[in-house]
Amino acid sequence: MLAPCPGRGGVYGRGVSTSIAVLGSTGSIGTQTLDIARADPDRYDVVAIGAATSVDALAEQAAEFRPALVALADDARAAELRDRLPAGTELVAGDDALAAASTEADCVINGVVGFAGLPVTLASLAAGKRLGLANKESLIAAGPIVQPLRDVAGAELVPVDSEHCALHQCLRANDEPERVDRLVLTASGGPFRGRSAADLAEVTIEDALAHPTWSMGPKITVDSSTLMNKGLEVIEAQELFGIGVDRIDVVVQPQSVVHSMVAYSDGSTIAQLSMPDMRLCIGYALAYPDRLTLPYGPVDWSAALQLDFEPPDRATFACLDLAYDAGREGETAPAWLSAANEVVVDAFLTGRIRWIEIAEILKEALAAYDGTKASDIEAVLQADRTSRAVTRKLVDGKAAA
């Protein structure tokens, strides 16, 4: 079902402070969320922060924002952090800490990296919170588990991913879901746009991490270089907006100014434009249905601006169609693909496999998909574990070759 952006009264209105929990607070999304809170402290009150292991950065953030709660997933370093927290700030540590911290605020920003972000997504929606979701993996892998929680009273999922933030905005142009023809996701094309497969045989980790337009963490930057990020976003859009992957297109927009588009039944295409700046997207999720009063990434329309569009090279960047396959398959196939992808990206970043082997291994990993139904959370977790085990073996085979 398409959920066309329900309004929300009261709490998020002008002049009223919103309490926010920032999970994954020391990463790229987390620190940019804190930028917004720092810029508008009357409007945003940081009541909880949390990270996996970054004790030094958490201590610094706690000193600045004085949240009620700090969460640290790494139990072993809890004592070290506790001594460095300001008076009045409580520490929760351990596997469940980030999820526990996500029930403490009006609005949760989930900036945790990878499948590890799933507990935050589940806990914040179950607690009836607004969830600003930057952790796409949790929705992609566990869509069938996450979806029912969107019906919990007060729960609201607002995407932070720039393309989905754009789609969310473009869908507000019309309140009749049946008039949506297609969703059009834009892609920068990543650092290897225009290169041939032969050309890409020997690219390095540094090459893959040199994104032309966006500054992001290493995992998503590698995903951008393979177009797997775009593929995962196609599945994410299917889950968020209830439109099947075969009505979702991908177009390369190298300037990363048009962030996505909705094509309507009357021939109109509505687009959202801004310079690449994730703070706009994070702020949209915080302020919706209102908007931030401070601009992030406004386009300077007094200067010349060129916008190009081109179809993606699906043969060279085979990960894109692997994601379409998994999205069409549904059930635990997206969990399987996303888990396999985390394993191969890690293997690439640690120098065990070459860039061109990422898609090769993922193709084999997806071929081994066992067809398990996403009947409950345990089935999703099992799919994640099995896929990782299968993919690790494939990686070991390549690395040894």
Interacting residues with Mg ion (CB under 5 A): 161-163
Is there a contact between 350 and 395 (Cβ–Cβ < 8 Å)?
A: no
Cβ at position 128, least distance to Mg ion in Å: 27
Q: Quote helix, strand, coil % in the chain, to nearest 5.
A: 45, 15, 40
Nearest distance from C-beta of residue 161 to Mg ion, angstroms: 4
* C-alpha to C-alpha distance for 75 and 282, rounded to whole angstroms: 29
DSSP string, 262-280: EEETTS-EEEEE--S-HHH
Residue type, 277: D
Q: Would you say 54 or 135 has its CB closer to Mg ion? A: 135
Q: Could you please report the per-residue DSSP string of 139-158?
A: HHHHHHHHGGGGGSTT-EEE
Q: Cβ of residue 106: shortest distance to Mg ion, in angstroms?
A: 25
Residue 193, helix vs strand vs coil: coil
Nearer to Mg ion by C-beta: 163 or 346?
A: 163
Cβ 351 to Mg ion shortest distance, Å: 26
Q: Smallest distance from the beta carbon of 168 to Mg ion, in angstroms? A: 13
Nearer to Mg ion, 61 or 256 (CB): 256
b/e code 347-367 from CB counts within 10 Å (16+ = b): bbbeeebbbbbbbebbbbbbe
Nearest to 118 by CA among 135, 104, 105, 103: 135
By C-beta, is 317 or 369 nearer to Mg ion? 317
CB-wise, 67 or 190, nearer to Mg ion?
190
The nearest distance, CB 237 to Mg ion, in angstroms, is 10
Closest distance between Mg ion and the C-beta of residue 302, in Å? 28
C-beta separation of 110 from 124 below 8 A: yes
| Cβ nearer to Mg ion, comparing 163 with 342 | 163
Closest CA to 223 of 105, 91, 309, 341: 341
**With respect to Mg ion, which residue has the nearer C-beta, 256 or 387?**
256
Nearer to Mg ion, 161 or 313 (CB): 161
Q: Taking a C-beta distance cutoff of 8 angstroms, is the pair 183, 167 a contact?
A: yes
162 or 221: CB nearest Mg ion: 162
Alpha-carbon distance 116 to 136, whole Å? 11
DSSP 297-351: S---TTS------B---TTTSTHHHHHHHHHHH-TTHHHHHHHHHHHHHHHHHTT
Residue type, 301: W
Instruction: Give me the least distance between CB of 136 and Mg ion, in Å please.
Output: 8
The residue nearest Mg ion at its CB is 161
Q: Which two tokens stand for residue 54?
A: 């970054």
Decide whether 162 or 338 has the Cβ nearer to Mg ion: 162
DSSP structure class, residue 62: H
User: What values do phi and psi take at 92, rounded to 5?
Assistant: -115, 140
In whole angstroms, the minimum distance from the beta carbon of 162 to Mg ion comes to 5
In the complex with Mg ion, the residue whose CB is nearer, 186 or 332, is 186
Pairing of strands 90-93, 69-72: parallel
C-beta of 304: minimal distance to Mg ion in Å? 26
Residue 272 Cβ vs Mg ion, minimum distance, rounded to whole Å: 13
d(CA 273, CA 225): 22
